[in-house]
Amino acid sequence: MSNDWPLFEVFIRSRAGLEHKHVGSLHAADARMAVEHARDVYTRRLEGVSIWVVRSADITASDPGEAESLFEPARDKVYRHPTFYAIPEEVKNL
């Protein structure tokens, strides 16, 4: 039965103020059922206060074959990390 159902990706927000995090996937007939299934599968131990689901088919992903051209160019640009700035004494809360 579940083989006929589309796959959904599940995102759970563990506490108010935090972001939703991907926790896994499950099968459901539609989005409403996916939320219910997510509640039953992924929040049994008080893991969350909010659930998002999205059809896996609706996610556009980067191609692993293109990983080199997508991500390698960032490798030699360490100066993009903000660790090279001297922070003035007067600046608090940074």
DSSP 8-state assignment for residue 81: S
In the bound complex, what is the minimum distance in angstroms from residue 76's beta carbon to another protein? 46
Closest CA to 24 of 58, 57, 61, 53: 53
User: What 3-state class would DSSP assign to 48?
Assistant: coil
Q: Draw the binding track, 12-31, toward another protein (x: CB under 8 A; -: no contact).
A: --------------xxxx--
- Determine if 37 is a binding residue for another protein (CB under 8 A): yes
Residues near another protein (CB under 8 A) are: 1-2, 5, 26-29, 32-33, 36-37, 39-41, 44
